[in-house]
Amino acid sequence: MNIIRFIVIFIIIWLLIRMVKNYRNREKITTSQRNSNNIDTMVQCSRCELHLPKQQATKRGERYYCCKQHADED
Ligand SMILES: [Zn+2]
């Protein structure tokens, strides 16, 4: 009876360790996904060399500009 009890306790501990590991892995994946979504790609204005987030930049062909005025001037 003692051996059976020992095996049952061992299995319970093993399952708990597995659950904790799975939980930590899931948390890591979600935080890294959140980080990659939040990071804005920085681009440089081809005219005044100002750095700005890609979302705010004006794109002309393959080049980025800080404002519409610079895009028209270059
Ligand atoms: Zn500019």
Report the separation in Å between the CA atom of 15 and the middle of ligand 1, taken as the mean of its atom positions.
Answer: 58
Report the separation in Å between the CA atom of 38 and the middle of ligand 1, taken as the mean of its atom positions.
Answer: 24
Nearest alpha-carbon partner for 61 in 69, 71, 53: 71
Contacts of 5 (CB under 8 A, 6+ apart): none
The pLDDT, as a whole number, for residue 35 is 60
Report the separation in Å between the CA atom of 40 and the middle of ligand 1, taken as the mean of its atom positions.
Answer: 18
Name the pLDDT band for 37 (thresholds 50, 70, 90).
low
Count CB neighbours of 43 within 10 A. 20
Alpha carbon distance 33, 41 (integer Å)? 15
DSSP 33-59: HHHHHHPPPEEEBTTT--EEEGGGSEE
This prediction's pTM: 0.47
